[in-house]
Amino acid sequence: MSPTTPGVARPARLLIVDDSALVRQILARELGAAEGIDVVGTATDPYAARDLVVELQPDVLTLDLEMPRMDGITFLRKLMRHHPLPVIVVSSLTAEGSALAIEALDAGAVDVLAKPGPSYSVGDMAAQLAERVIAVRGMRVEARTAAPVRRLAMTRTTDRVVAIGASIGGTHALHEVLAAMPADGPGIVIAQHMPEHFTAAFAGRLRETCAIDVREAKDGDTVTAGRALIAPGNRHLVLRRQGAVYHVEVRSGPLVAGHRPSIDVLFKSVARYAGANAVGVLMTGMGHDGASGLQAMHEAGARAIAQDEATSVVFGMAREAVRLGVVDEVVPLQRIAERVLAAAQA
């Protein structure tokens, strides 16, 4: 804690919000040693932060964006409505000028700062952050009483979601794509038209020959790097997000586009909850399931890939998506994994 010097304004009371214990420790140490700053508390997530804001009445708050249970943008919007105060976003995702930095400012942050990287040390960041904390202390922040725009997908997250849809010829095609994925590849969700009771065995067979963990999806499974979740036969698979963590729900429901699981159901949930953080792949299969879902993903900012006619057993679903003009790339089966990885790393 910085001491108060007679005749000098009291130190800025700072609350640090970050789910990383190491980051909280470093920021508390570095900023607590800075003249004019009193670190009054730290919080592991927005729910803990909410209570501490009321209890500690900080002058300034630093906020990470990727946290469990509630992401930083959602919390920031709530805070600006109910208890506005100067917030400085500190995140690895907010490089100056990035889309997420602009979104954070739009949500009410007074400043954004990137976490240390290869050319940006902890010392550099701490010094800049200390200056900004002192500068914004006492800044008048107006409450945002208007209802915010309902945004379920963050502009950007560290993790990417790959959504794949396939039908006739898809079992072989999926094997080719998944076998080419590295063990630390992006999380994958899959809707393959397949009868009930067949998908568990299919996932098990893929798991034996792939570097990634392939499994039949269960309700509540998280979508993480190195894992592929296949929709159970006769059940729809949908993506959800809690904080910055993606998970799936397995549910019943009517046939959609003539199918259960439906690719459209999966893709539209990915568009809603992952947005531009996703890559959509529509592969071999008859009919039109998946085309409107891929359109929704494309419109939400996701990269859209379709398997080409030459390597498709049936060029039906992918053809429909191409006809709609929502496909960014049409590639042969052998190149799908390569293009997915490139898109996920962009």
Catalytic residues: 167, 193, 289
Sign of CA dihedral 47, 52, 53, 58: negative
| Helices vs. strands in the chain: H and E counts, helices first | 11, 14
Question: How far apart are alpha carbons 266 and 300 in whole angstroms?
Answer: 14
- DSSP string for 143-160: ---SPPP---S-S--SS-
Burial 13-47, CB ≥16 within 10 A → b, else e: bbbbbbbeeebbebbbebbbebebbbbbbbbbbbe
Q: How far, in Å, CA of 111 to CA of 94, rounded?
A: 10
Scan for tokens 């379920």, then name that residue.
152
Report the first-to-last Cα separation within the chain, whole angstroms. 42
Find out whether 199 and 231 touch, Cβ atoms under 8 Å: yes
Return d(Cα 62, Cα 28) in angstroms, integer.
Answer: 11
Going by the DSSP 8-state scheme, the letter that residue 139 receives in this structure is -
The interaxial angle of helices 291-299 and 263-273, nearest 10 deg, is 10
Tokens of 310: 């030459």
Name 201's Cβ contacts closer than 8 Å, sequence gap at least 6.
Answer: none
For the four alpha carbons of 315, 321, 323 and 328, in that order, the dihedral sign comes to negative
